[in-house]
């Protein structure tokens, strides 16, 4: 989780919604300034990266943060640092293309 968090926190224009490691596990809900989460999700798909976009059953939380939606990525025991390198590189490229 810490490796992924450090990679994602250094991406310009990317907002990580929740970074408390004790509560969040290895799930990262994110947004990109000025870009809808669905657009980011579709762009990431072109890089072979699968994420979910939407409200994730917490629409009141999104409203409180003034977000239309977020996209989220989750790591598990079968993911390694290379997977998070691929994710972070794909997010960086997507931000360049979408902004």
The rounded distance, in Å, linking the Cα atoms of 66 and 68 is 7
In whole angstroms, what separates CA 11 from the centre of its chain? 11
Strand 14-16, strand 70-74: pairing: unpaired
Q: Give the C-alpha distances (Å, rounded to integers) separating 48 from 5, 18, 39, 84.
A: 20, 24, 15, 13
Active site residues: 57
């Amino acid at each position: 989780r810490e490796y992924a968090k450090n990679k994602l926190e250094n991406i310009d224009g990317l907002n990580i919604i929740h970074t408390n490691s004790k509560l969040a596990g290895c799930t990262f809900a994110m947004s990109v300034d000025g870009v809808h989460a669905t657009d980011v999700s579709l762009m990431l798909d072109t890089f072979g990266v699968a994420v979910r976009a939407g409200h994730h059953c917490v629409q009141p939380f999104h409203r409180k943060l003034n977000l239309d939606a977020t996209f989220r990525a989750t790591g598990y025991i079968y993911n390694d640092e290379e997977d998070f390198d691929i994710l972070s590189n794909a997010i960086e490229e997507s931000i360049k293309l979408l902004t």
